[in-house]
Every structure is written in structure tokens, then in C-alpha cells.
């Protein structure tokens, strides 16, 4: 039974979602403010957090950043805005998925189950190694040539997805759909920006690539550097 922490200030919505998620097999804890939610998330270590952005004490984005500094718990953000800029911003800040208000308990349950399935795709001791690059999906640790890589959750997810498919050319549309969970089409710029950040941390450039190689007009692939 997954343990879900629901951070939602509206008591009517909170009660309805608690009832709906409980009926669907979740153990639900709740908090009405951002700081209370943050404290419960750190102390109780739920399997997943549903985080409303419109909280009365602290903006939900701030709560998300604070939570990401202390925990890797999956987060589904609830937002009233459905424009791409808003969605990309919260995903880049560390959210694993999002739902747009108004939504039903059934829709939220589907999102929760999808996120938890993605988190369980790899064995507990699974690690991907490409040349001197090593990514551990359990500990979320990344190293290159023995040096720690300080990656954001989104950077780790992007690099892990590419490294797990080493040698394959992965399109930006596929990355948007699988890493960002965005519909196909548009948003290529956010992929380019994250690839640029990854190259900087890996100590390479697009012109002098070691691991991340751009295939012009097609996508990007990870390969081990030549000796």
C-alpha cells in the first residue's frame, strides 16, 4: 500500500482527495501548509508527495526546492495553470509529474501509479556504466572518472535515460516524453539547455564531445570516450 502525503490547503479538496485515494488503496497523510508538508515529508518519508502550488504560507515552488534539498521522494505537483512554461518550470525544479486543476481522484491515482512504476523500473542495485561514467539509480549518485557529479534530479534523469541506451540515438521528442513527461512536439529548447549543463559538468563541449554526442537533425547519444 503506497504511502502518499497530500499537501493541499483547501479543506474540501483535501477531504475529497483523501477519500478518493484511500478508496483506491493508498495510505494518505495530509498537511494544509507548505512548512507542515515539508516537515511531514522529511520525518515520515512517504512513497510520494502530492504538492499543491497555491499554499497559504510558502509558495509551492519554494517548498519543492526545499524538499529536493532534503529528499528524493517522488513529487506530483498540482497546478491551476496548464501553459508549457509553467509545466516546464515545475518539472525542471524537481517535480516528477503534474496534474492540472480541476482533476479527479481517479486521474490523480493514475498519475501516482505511473510515477511509482517509473521509479521501480530498475532493480534496486541497478547501475549504468559507460566508460568512466557511472550512474546509480538507487542512490541517485553519479560519478565520472571517480569524480562526483553534482546533478539536479532532472539532470540525473536525463543522463541516466541516455546512458541506459548507450550507443543509441535518442530524439529530443522522446526525451521530452520520457524524461519530462511532456507531450510530443515543442519544448526542444529545454532539452538543449539541460544537455549544455550536463556537458559543462562532464567537462566537455558540443564541439569537443566525450560522452554526449549530438547527431544533427536526429537527436543525441551517449558513447564511451575513445581511449
Taking only the tens place, the pLDDT of each residue in 113-126 is: 888 877 654 444 45
* Per-residue pLDDT tens digits for 40-93: 998 888 889 999 998 999 988 899 988 888 888 899 998 887 777 878 888 888
Cα distance between residue 71 and residue 94, in whole Å: 11
Average pLDDT, the chain: 86
Amino acid at each position: 500500500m503506497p504511502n502518499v502525503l497530500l499537501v493541499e490547503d483547501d479543506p474540501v479538496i483535501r477531504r475529497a482527495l483523501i477519500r478518493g485515494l484511500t478508496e483506491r488503496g493508498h495510505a494518505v497523510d495530509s498537511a494544509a501548509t507548505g512548512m507542515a508538508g515539508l516537515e511531514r515529508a522529511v520525518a515520515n518519508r512517504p512513497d510520494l508527495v502530492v504538492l499543491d502550488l497555491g499554499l497559504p504560507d510558502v509558495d509551492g515552488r519554494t517548498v519543492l526546492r526545499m524538499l529536493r534539498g532534503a529528499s528524493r521522494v517522488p513529487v506530483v505537483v498540482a497546478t491551476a495553470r496548464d501553459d508549457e512554461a509553467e509545466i516546464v518550470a515545475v518539472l525542471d525544479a524537481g517535480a516528477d509529474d503534474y496534474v492540472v486543476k480541476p482533476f479527479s481522484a481517479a486521474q490523480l491515482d493514475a498519475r501516482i501509479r505511473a510515477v511509482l512504476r517509473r521509479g521501480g523500473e530498475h532493480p534496486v542495485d541497478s547501475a549504468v556504466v559507460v566508460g568512466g561514467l557511472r550512474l546509480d539509480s538507487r542512490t541517485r549518485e553519479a560519478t565520472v572518472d571517480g569524480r562526483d557529479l553534482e546533478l539536479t534530479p532532472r539532470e540525473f534523469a536525463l543522463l541516466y535515460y541516455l546512458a541506459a541506451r548507450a550507443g543509441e540515438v535518442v530524439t529530443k521528442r522522446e526525451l521530452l516524453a520520457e524524461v519530462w513527461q511532456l507531450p510530443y512536439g515543442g519544448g526542444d529548447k529545454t532539452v538543449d539547455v539541460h544537455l549544455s549543463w550536463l556537458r559543462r559538468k562532464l567537462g566537455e563541449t558540443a564541439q569537443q564531445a566525450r560522452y554526449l554526442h549530438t547527431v544533427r537533425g536526429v537527436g543525441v547519444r551517449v558513447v564511451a570516450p575513445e581511449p
